Amino acid sequence: MEKKKSWKVLLQLFVSTFYISAFTFGGGYVIIPLMKKKFADELHWIDDEEMLNLAAIAQSSPGAVAVNASILVGYRVAGVVGAAISILGTVLPPLIIISVISLFYTAFRTNAIVSAVLKGMQSGVAAVVADVVCNLGGKIVKDRDILSVLVMIVAFVANYILGVNVMLIILACGVIGAVRTLFVHGKKEGAK
Amino acid sequence: MIFLELLWSFMQIGLFSVGGGMAAMPLIQNQVVTLHGWLTLTEFTDLITIAEMTPGPIAVNSATFVGMRIAGLPGALVATAGCILPSCIIVSLLAWLYFRYQNLSIIQGVLGGLRPAVVALIASAGVSILLLALWGEGGFTMNVQDINLIALGLFAAAFAVLRIWKPSPILVMTGCGVLGGILYTLAG
């Protein structure tokens, strides 16, 4: 990549992560749908499958999922410099917003208009997440891979209804994936 | 030295909060309220409310808030840096490993197993937010009359717009914020 172009990429990376972070209400997983929309659907820097791989790694690492995911996306797009840029983009919005709020937080907390706007945004966030779940989940169902569909349903029930620890779910699904690969591999070897 | 204390406390929070979000809360409370007495329990509860209302990871929000109150802007910067430092080191290492070894079939297998799980986790987060929007803090009830109609209308409209025209999600969220600001103020 030529120098001039890479500056443009870095700038776009910074602006994108800054924007996404400024709108990540509800923390954690909400950033994944937003990143998918931006980096996969809009900019085509990453495909859907890789976005989910990065999300899985972000979830299994210590620290905030949003920060971890931006490090991974930044690294994928422009190496270590990219990672540094996207950390900056992700951390700045909450840093600025909370710094300002902490100066007069009781006034903010009780302001009726602020809470009305935030309440309205909650519905918008829910709609964005629902939209991305339909896209990604629909793709998995369309692949007609019964094990994947089963993993998706069981993981949802385990996490949402039974309240099973997320790390346990990730670990179990990773093991299922590994065992399956070994099994399929073994069968192929046997067929030879 | 207050800056070193802030740095060290939030580094521990960053390092030990695996799974993100609410998983970090008890750790933050332990460091900030119990061990150091930087915030009272009431201030801590306010902090959680604010962190929920504003964008950004809860750990970063808390770091900024506590740092600001203890030592002003330099405090906020130091605490935030502490909280993301462990992630930076560990995730960069994992990123390097991932991009180097992602083509191994066993790694592909593991990731193939994780992908549907991640979709399920996103769905699970989505359901939580939707229920919060529709039923408020009280949580889900069987009583249909408890549903917040404005929230339901906004959700349905936003979802339809997203499915049909595929606009930028940020546009949709801003739109919902503006409409919500108007409708809830009029209704309240």
Say which of B21, B106, B184 has its CB closest to residue A120: B184
Q: Are residues B14 and B72 in the same domain?
A: yes
Residue A132: list chain B partners with CB under 8 A.
122
Q: Do A122 and B116 touch (CB under 8 A)?
A: no
Say which of A95, A116, A175 has its CB closest to residue B180: A116
Round to whole Å and give the CA distance between B162 and A55.
22
Q: Do A152 and B20 touch (CB under 8 A)?
A: no
Residue range(s) defining the domain that contains residue B28: 2-101
| A to B CB pairs, distance under 8 Å | 383
Q: Are residues B85 and B115 in the same domain?
A: no
Helices within chain B (DSSP H only): 2-16, 25-29, 41-53, 58-101, 105-135, 149-165, 169-187
Model ipTM? 0.81
- Residue ending a domain, among B71, B101, B131, is B101
Tally of CB atoms within 10 A around A120? 27
Residue B24: list chain A partners with CB under 8 A.
64
- Which one-letter amino acid corresponds to residue A97? I
Q: Are residues B109 and B62 in the same domain?
A: no
Q: Are residues B77 and B18 in the same domain?
A: yes
User: What's the pLDDT at A190?
Assistant: 53
Q: Are residues B80 and B116 in the same domain?
A: no
Residue A169 domain-assigned (yes or no) = no
Q: Are residues B88 and B125 in the same domain?
A: no
Q: Do A140 and B185 touch (CB under 8 A)?
A: no
Query: Distances from the Cα of B16 to the Cαs of A68, B27, B28, B36, in angstroms?
Result: 14, 8, 10, 18
Interface test with A, best of B22, B28, B91, B148 (most A CBs within 10 A): B91
pLDDT digits (tens, 9 = 90+) for A106-137: 777 678 888 888 888 888 888 988 998 998 89
- Residue ending a domain, among B101, B120, B147, is B101
Looking at chain A from residue 125 to 154, which residues have their Cβ under 8 Å from any Cβ of chain B? Answer: 125-134, 136-137, 140, 148-149, 151-154
Residue range(s) defining the domain that contains residue A36: 3-119
Q: Are residues B40 and B76 in the same domain?
A: yes
pLDDT bucket at A3, cuts 50 / 70 / 90: very low
Whether residue A67 lies within 8 A of chain B, CB to CB, comes out as yes
* Closest-approach residue (CA) in chain A for B116: A152
Give the number of domains in chain B.
2
Q: Are residues B31 and B116 in the same domain?
A: no
- Residue ending a domain, among B43, B67, B101, is B101
pLDDT digits (tens, 9 = 90+) for A151-190: 999 999 998 899 888 778 888 999 999 999 888 876 665 5
Q: Do B110 and A174 touch (CB under 8 A)?
A: yes
Asked if A71 and A87 count as a contact pair (C-beta separation under 8 A), the reply is yes
- Give me the residues paired with residue A62 across strands: B18
Q: Are residues B48 and B82 in the same domain?
A: yes
Whether residue A93 lies within 8 A of chain B, CB to CB, comes out as yes
Give the number of domains in chain A.
1
Q: Are residues B72 and B138 in the same domain?
A: no
pLDDT digits (tens, 9 = 90+) for A54-106: 998 998 888 888 999 999 999 999 999 999 999 999 999 999 999 998 888 77
Whether residue B21 lies within 8 A of chain A, CB to CB, comes out as yes
Tally of CB atoms within 10 A around A140? 18
Say which of A94, A152, A180 has its CB closest to residue B60: A94
Token pair listed for B158: 């936003």
Q: Are residues B9 and B89 in the same domain?
A: yes
Q: Are residues B23 and B89 in the same domain?
A: yes
pLDDT bucket at B22, cuts 50 / 70 / 90: low
Q: Do B185 and A180 touch (CB under 8 A)?
A: no
User: What's the pLDDT at B156?
Assistant: 96
